[in-house]
Amino acid sequence: MVIEKQLKISKQLPEYKRSLLNVLYTGNWVTDEITNILKPFDITTQQFNVLRILKGMNGKPCTLQTIQERMISKMSNTTRLVDKLIKKNYVSREQCESNRRKVDITITNEGIDYLNKINNVVDNKEEQLTQNLTIDELYQLNELLNKLRTENYE
């Protein structure tokens, strides 16, 4: 569907504006789709992201700063997200023995089991969301999105 039609815009947009609106709209659409499939699991997309980051540490503890740096949404309140995951017993937090100011965060076995259950559902949804694109088109999309960010931030 054409972005102007979706947003009910009647005037001709400059291509740069049209492209950015399309990226923003599509990003929100993907987020909404993932949010909807996570609802039955009582977990947010940001909490899911934290669990994936911690699982990717392969049992090594990490800090709040490390989690924040790896978050998809940099606006997330990492402390609050981790606190909620601790209450659900998916994450543990311990004071680092070598540096008392540092806090080590790890995913629990319960968190890994829970994440494994959710991952299949999310993976299936992600595959469904991208099924209209070929592998070559997905590669090209990634290249273009990387190029868009690189031009402005490196």
Q: How far is CA 34 from CA 45, 48, 89, 129, in A?
A: 7, 10, 23, 10
- Residues 17-54 have pLDDT tens digits of 889 888 998 999 999 999 999 999 999 999 999 999 99
- Residues 90-136 have pLDDT tens digits of 999 987 677 767 788 999 999 999 999 999 999 999 999 999 999 99
Domains along the chain with CATH numbers: 42-153 (1.10.10.10)
Give the contacts of 19 (CB within 8 A, at least 6 positions apart).
none
Average pLDDT over residues 10-17: 84
Question: Could you tell me the pLDDT band of residue 151, with boundaries at 50, 70 and 90?
Answer: low
Give the separation between CA 145 and CA 20, rounded to whole angstroms: 11
Q: Which of 104, 11, 120 is nearest to 61 (CA)?
A: 104
> Which helix (H) or strand (E) covers residue 94, if one does?
strand 91-95
pTM, to two decimals = 0.84
